[in-house]
Structure 1
Amino acid sequence: MRELPQPATEAIQLVEVLRALADPVRLELVQRLAMTGEDSCNGLGGDLDVHQTTLSHHYRVLREAGVTLTTVQGRSRLVRLRRGDLDARFPGLLDSVLDGARSAVGD
C-alpha cells in the first residue's frame, strides 16, 4: 500500500482546511467518512450527482488540505479522515464542523 502526497501534520493550515470544508460536496464526503471510517473513492461518492473527474478533484483538495489520507491498494484508492492529525492541530474543529453540518440539514 502506498500513500499519495499530503501535508505533514505540522504543515496542515487552518485556511486550507476551512477552504476544503466550505464546498458542499466535500463536506458531504467528510460527513460520510466520519460515519464509515474508511471507504473507497467509488463507494464513498459514487451516488453523488457529480462527474467522476469532479469527484476526483474534490478528493485531491481534501487530501492536499490535510483533511483526508488516501492510500493506493492495487487499483483502489482508500480514503479516511485524518481526525487525529486535525485534532492535534485544531482541537475540536472537525467535530464542530460536522455538528454544524448535521444541524444545518435539520433546519
Structure 2
Amino acid sequence: MPRALPEPSVGSFDLTVILGALAEPGRRALMTELYRSAEPVDCAVIAEKADLGLSNPTISHHYRVLREAGLIRTIAEGRKRIVTVRRDDMDARFPGLLNAVLGV
C-alpha cells in the first residue's frame, strides 16, 4: 500500500533551508531533472537520467534533503520511491523561485 513520507507543510517552508538544499550541485541536478518531468517518477530513473556518478546512499541522502526541505513529495510503494516536485506548494509560498534557481 503506497504511503507518503513525511514532508513539511507549506507554511513551514524555510527559504534558507530550501536554498541550502539547492546549493549542492548533485541535488540541483536531481531537482532539474525532476522539474522537467511533469509526472511523478521513480527516483531511480531520475538518478540514472541525471548521471551524477554518485553512490546509491549519496543519492538517497540527496532525495531526503530535498524532501525535508519541502521541494519534493515522496510516495513509498514497496521498495520503489515515486517522487514529484511540489510545484504548486513552492509557487504558493515562493512564487517563481524554482524557475529562477533551476533556470528551467
| TM-score, with length taken from structure 2 | 0.91
Unaligned runs of 5+ in 1: 103-107
Distance in 2 (alpha carbons) for counterparts of 1:25 and 1:58: 7
Alpha-carbon distance in structure 2 between the residues aligned to 1:79 and 1:26: 14
| Partner in structure 1 of residue 92 of structure 2 | 88
Q: Residue 98 of structure 1: which of 89, 92, 102 is its match?
A: 102
Q: Which runs of 4+ in 1 moved over 4 A?
A: none
Query: Number of aligned pairs?
Result: 100
Tell me if 1:11 matches 2:12.
yes
Q: Does 1:68 align with 2:72?
A: yes
Please, what TM-score do these two structures have when normalized by structure 1? 0.88
Q: Secondary structure at the match of 1:94?
A: helix
Q: Tell me the CA shift for residue 4 of structure 1.
A: 0.4
Query: 1:10-30 CA distances to partner (integer Å, 9 max, x unpaired)?
Result: 111100100000010100011
% same residue: 46
Shift of 1:75: 1.8
C-alpha RMSD of matched pairs (Å)? 1.1
